Amino acid sequence: MGNLERRNGTKSACAVCGLSDERTLSYTRLESGERITVCGSHKIAHRRADRLARTTDELRTMLTERRAS
């Protein structure tokens, strides 16, 4: 999926959950410095994580909600 910016530079959707309401979107940075579009909740979760994600897939894995069934 990678960075979900449109060509005109506007944000399009959270790379983790797919939320596309631009009023809630922001950015986080991967370990490499790459900017990734995320919603505010996932930006906070990534900032609070023990470490920065290396890839977008790793970011999704780290931040995807997991509830015990």
- Nearest Cα neighbor of 30 from 51, 46, 52 is 52
Give per-residue pLDDT as tens, 45-68. Answer: 999 999 999 999 999 999 986 554
Q: Which residues of 24-41 are buried (b: 16+ CB within 10 A; e: fewer)?
A: ebbebebeeeeebbbbeb
Query: In 3D, which of 58, 57, 61, 24 has the Cα closest to residue 43?
Result: 24
Hey, where are the domains in the chain?
1-62
The structure's pTM equals: 0.76
Pair of tokens at residue 6: 């449109």
More confident residue, 2 or 20: 20
Structure tokens at 16: 């983790």
Q: What is the mean pLDDT of residues 10-25?
A: 90
pLDDT in tens, 27-48: 999 999 999 999 999 999 999 9
Q: State residue 64's pLDDT score.
A: 83
